Amino acid sequence: MESATTDHHKQLQYCTTRLPYRQGRELKAVKVYTVASESRYLLIFGVPKINLQGNLKTKLQCFGKLQSCACITPEMAAKMELEAFTDVFAVQFERLEVARRAKRQLDAKQFYGGTLHISYAPERETLQELREKLMKRSQEVAHRTRRNRTDQTDSTPAKKRMK
Amino acid sequence: MFSSHRHLKRRTPDQGIDRREYIGHLVDEYYTTTNVEALEQVTANLANFAYDPINWPHLHEAEAFDVFIASLKVQNQNLQLHGIAAICNICLDKAAAELIREHLSIISGLFVRTDHPVIVLHSLALFYQLLNAGQVDKELLLTPPLLKGVQEWRQKSHDQRIVKLSSLQQVQVVKRFTQNDLEQFAQFTGDHNYIHTLDLPVEERRVHGALLNAVVAGIMGTKLPGPGTVVLEQSFKFLKPCRIETDTVVTVRLLQSRKISTAEYDCRQNDEIVFAGNAKLLTRIT
């Protein structure tokens, strides 16, 4: 029944064997996400150990309101193998969409000589935050469903583009 | 991530296929390929598409739900994982919810027998969403084996994501106190205070406060958090007298789930709170 509780933070390999019709422009790993996977809390691995907390904070604040950004290298080093000479930061955004965007744009990108690896950290949420996250998911779904319906009736339907 | 129709139009190259066709191709590939890696890739792709409601009509048209259910039945844990994640993502769709109800036994069967923590994670998220949206009958979903499974994962897992998700659902029990209950309790504890006895007319008689607390403690020690729980600290208030021969709804809800958890609870009669409080509980002895 047991698994290392940091398994979901390990970086997976990119998938290189996709059939051409479904190989996107970027390489991605084979991974599934649900509301249980995502979170306003992120862990950022691979930050070079040269006092970059300030720089990282500034970079993250460009995406939206940052609630906290703390170095947790000692805590994580006990639980999993970390890249040498790098720090791990635990980050909390005020909104989930902001965390999503930051993860998407910064994951696997260069940062002062290191390559960042970012993963969601839902284990850091409180029970109340988890309840709210699930509630927000159902609100977003309802909102999106309505939006998609009105978008469709306003514009001409998408046509098949094969020539 | 979510897309809009405009965004999808923009992203599709001129020579490319649109989202609807793409999903159709993925489902076709699932049924025609023999390559295990390809199966895992397309099911993951479909599961992630299921996150965005814009894809739901296409997924239904391509009958992707059958792919998800089929994935739950195979031995490959990755395929099971992708299948359950897909169902978790699509469960808020009314048409999907109907299909989920039809195949509920397969879905809960996987949860009960699996040892894969991430499958458990997405299953719990699925169950919680279904119950909250009122999409599934509580009695049909929360069978004894399922509840036992949830309790075991909550108590034994070190993965906080699972511990939290399995602590979300509150436990409610309906109790009806009789005069006989009060007399037995008085006999056992020595609390012969006349406010609990036949000396008072029924409308003025009240249930022993300690008895209410004991019922709450019973729930905490058997259902939420469950056996092994030790109460460390409690604070409670008696807001209104609790009457006999009236349905009393006792609710226990976890606020924090750790080595020392916190819970809150209340007793209601006729939708009014008669007793409420919170407690600090020791839940992990290992």
Q: Tens digits of per-residue pLDDT, B193-228?
A: 999 999 999 999 999 999 999 999 999 998 888 888
Q: Give per-residue pLDDT as tens, B29-41.
A: 999 999 999 999 9
Query: B84 with B76: CB under 8 angstroms?
Result: no
Strand partners, A41: A92
ipTM: 0.87
**Which pLDDT score, from 0 to 100, does residue A16 have?**
84
CA distance B143 to B15: 51
Q: How far is B195 from chain A (nearest CA, A)?
A: 39
pLDDT-derived band at A4 (thresholds 50, 70, 90) equals low
Query: B190 with A149: CB under 8 angstroms?
Result: no
Residue B199, Cβ density class (10 Å: 0-12 exposed, 13-18 middle, ≥19 buried): exposed
* A114: nearest Cα among A14, A12, A45: A45
Residue pointed to by tokens 């997924």: B59
**Which pLDDT score, from 0 to 100, does residue A161 have?**
34
CB atoms within 10 A of CB A52: 20
For residue B15, pLDDT beyond 70: no
Scanning A59-118 for CB atoms below 8 A from B yields 100, 104
Domain ranges across chain A: 34-124, 125-155
End-to-end CA distance of chain A: 52
Residue type at B7 in one-letter notation: H
For residue B117, pLDDT beyond 90: yes
| Secondary structure (3-state) at B90 | helix
Q: Give per-residue pLDDT as tens, A116-147.
A: 999 999 999 998 899 999 999 999 999 999 99
- Supply B49's token pair: 């598409």
**Which pLDDT score, from 0 to 100, does residue A156 have?**
46
Residue type at B172 in one-letter notation: Q
Residue B268 DSSP symbol:
E
CA distance B83 to B137: 22
- SS3 of chain A: CCCCCCHHHCCCCCCCCCCHHHCCCCCCCCCCCCCCCCCCEEEEEEEECCCCHHHHHHHHHCCCCEEEEEECHHHHHCCCCCCCCEEEEEEEECCHHHHHHHHHHHCCCEECCEECEEEECHHHCCHHHHHHHHHHHHHHHHHHHHHHHHHHHHCCCCCCCCC
Q: How far is B207 from chain A (nearest CA, A)?
A: 33
CB contact under 8 A, A32 and B167: no
- Find the residue in A nearest to B51 (Cα): A34
Distance of CA A8 to the CA centre of its chain: 12
Read off the pLDDT of each residue in B238-251 and give the average, rounded to a whole number: 94
* B42: nearest Cα among B79, B87, B17: B79
CB contact under 8 A, B8 and A160: no
Read off the pLDDT of each residue in B97-121 and give the average, rounded to a whole number: 96
For residue B252, pLDDT beyond 90: yes
pLDDT-derived band at A3 (thresholds 50, 70, 90) equals very low
A100 chain-B contacts, CB cut-off 8 A: 1
Residue pointed to by tokens 């929360």: B142
Percentage of chain B surpassing pLDDT 90?
Answer: 78
Scanning A131-150 for CB atoms below 8 A from B yields 131, 134-135, 137-138, 140-141, 144-145, 147-148
- Find the residue in B nearest to A8 (Cα): B118
Whether residue B225 has a cis bond before it, omega within 30° of 0: yes
A158 chain-B contacts, CB cut-off 8 A: 5, 8-9, 12, 18-20
For residue A70, pLDDT beyond 80: yes
**Which pLDDT score, from 0 to 100, does residue B172 have?**
87
Higher pLDDT, A15 or B47: B47
**Cα torsion at A150, B49, A9, A130 (round to 10°)?**
40
**Which pLDDT score, from 0 to 100, does residue B285 have?**
55
pLDDT-derived band at B233 (thresholds 50, 70, 90) equals very high
- Supply B20's token pair: 């609807």
* B128: nearest Cα among A133, A91, A3, A75: A133
- Supply B50's token pair: 């299921």
Q: Which domains does chain B have, with CATH numbers?
A: 5-141 (1.25.10.10), 170-282 (3.10.129.10)
Which of A7, A30, A148 lies closest to B41 in CB terms? A30
For residue B279, pLDDT beyond 80: yes
Q: Which helix (H) or strand (E) holds B119?
A: helix B117-132
**Which pLDDT score, from 0 to 100, does residue A1 have?**
40
- Supply A96's token pair: 């989930």
CB contact under 8 A, B1 and A131: no
Q: How far is A9 from chain B (nearest CA, A)?
A: 12
* Widest distance between CA atoms in chain A: 57
**Which pLDDT score, from 0 to 100, does residue B51 have?**
97
CA distance B278 to A98: 35
Sign of CA dihedral A41, A45, A47, A51: positive
Chain B interface, best mutation among A19, A105, A127, by max B CB count within 10 A: A127
Q: How far is A50 from chain B (nearest CA, A)?
A: 31
pLDDT-derived band at B62 (thresholds 50, 70, 90) equals very high
**Which pLDDT score, from 0 to 100, does residue A101 have?**
95
Query: B135 with B169: CB under 8 angstroms?
Result: no
CA distance B267 to B231: 18
CATH fourth-level superfamily of A34-124: RRM (RNA recognition motif) domain (3.30.70.330)
**Which pLDDT score, from 0 to 100, does residue B155 have?**
84
Residue type at B39 in one-letter notation: L
Q: Give per-residue pLDDT as tens, B122-162.
A: 999 999 999 999 999 988 999 989 989 998 898 888 899 99
For residue A94, pLDDT beyond 90: yes
A8 chain-B contacts, CB cut-off 8 A: 118, 161
**Which pLDDT score, from 0 to 100, does residue B284 have?**
66
A37 chain-B contacts, CB cut-off 8 A: 121
Chain A interface, best mutation among B1, B92, B119, B161, by max A CB count within 10 A: B161
Read off the pLDDT of each residue in A17-28 and give the average, rounded to a whole number: 80
A17 chain-B contacts, CB cut-off 8 A: 37-38, 41
For residue A159, pLDDT beyond 60: no
Residue type at A15 in one-letter notation: C
For residue A155, pLDDT beyond 80: no
Read off the pLDDT of each residue in B99-111 and give the average, rounded to a whole number: 96
- Supply B179's token pair: 């005069």
CB contact under 8 A, A32 and B42: no
Cβ neighbors of B71 (< 8 A, separation 6 or more) are: B43, B79, B80, B82, B83, B86
For residue A18, pLDDT beyond 80: yes
CB contact under 8 A, A104 and B12: no
Lowest mean pLDDT among A76-85, A152-161, B183-192, B257-266: A152-161
pLDDT-derived band at A160 (thresholds 50, 70, 90) equals very low
Upper half-sphere CA count for residue A82 (Cβ side, 13 Å): 23
